[in-house]
Amino acid sequence: MRPGGQLPAPERAGSGPAGLDLPGLEALAAEVASEAARLVVEERPARLDVARTKSSATDVVTVMDQRSQDLLRARLRAARPDDGFLGEEEGGRAGASPVTWVVDPIDGTVNYLYGIPSYAVSVAAVVGDPSVPGAWETVAGAVAGAATGELFRAHRGGGAWVERAGAPPARLQVGAGSELAQALVGTGFGYEAHVREWQAAVLLRVLPSIRDIRRIGSAALDLCAVAEGALDAYFERGLHAWDLAAAWLVLAEAGGVVTGLAGGPPDWSMVVAGPPDLQERLRSLVAEAAAQAPRTRQAAE
Three-state DSSP state, 65: helix
Cross-strand partners of 236? 271
**Measured at the alpha carbon of residue 9, what is the angle toward residues 124 and 121, in degrees to the nearest 5?**
15
Cβ-count burial of 26 within 10 angstroms (0-12 exposed, 13-18 middle, 19+ buried)?
buried
Name the minimum Å distance from CB 243 to ligand IPD. 5
Segment interacting with Ca ion (CB under 5 A) among 78-86, 209-217, 236-244, 288-296: 236-244
Least distance (Å) between residue 161 CB and ligand IPD: 22
Residue 228: contacted member of Ca ion, ligand IPD, none (CB under 5 to 8 Å, by partner type): none
With a CB cutoff of 8 Å and minimum separation 6, the contacts of 150 are 144, 162, 163, 164
Site string for Ca ion, 88-107 (x = CB under 5 A): ----------------x--x
Q: Does 65 bind Ca ion (CB under 5 A)?
A: no
Residue 9, helix vs strand vs coil: coil
d(CA 71, CA 60): 19
Under 8 Å between Cβ of 272 and 265: no
| Closest to ligand IPD by CB, 16 or 238 | 238
Sequence-distant (6+) residues with CB within 8 A of 189 are 195, 196, 199, 200, 215, 238
- State the residues that interact with ligand IPD by CB under 6 A: 88, 104, 107-110, 188-190, 217-219, 236, 238-239, 243
Minimal distance, residue 236 CB to ligand IPD, in Å? 6
Q: How deeply is 122 buried, as exposed, middle or buried, from its count of CB atoms within 10 A (0-12, 13-18, 19+)?
A: buried
Give the residue at shortest CB distance from Ca ion. Answer: 107
Nearer Cβ to ligand IPD, position 26 or 243? 243
Least Å from the CB of residue 106 to Ca ion: 8
Partner in contact with 109, chosen from Ca ion, ligand IPD, none, beta carbon below 5 to 8 Å by kind: ligand IPD
By CB under 5 A, name the one of 243, 261, 285, 299 that touches Ca ion.
243
CB 279 within 8 A of CB 179: no
Tell me whether residue 65 or residue 232 sits nearer to ligand IPD (CB atom): 65
Residue 104 C-beta: closest distance to Ca ion, Å? 4
Q: Provide, rounded to whole angstroms, the least separation between the CB of residue 130 and ligand IPD.
A: 16
Nearer to ligand IPD, 110 or 230 (CB): 110
Please report, as ranges, the residues that interact with Ca ion according to CB under 5 A.
104, 107, 243
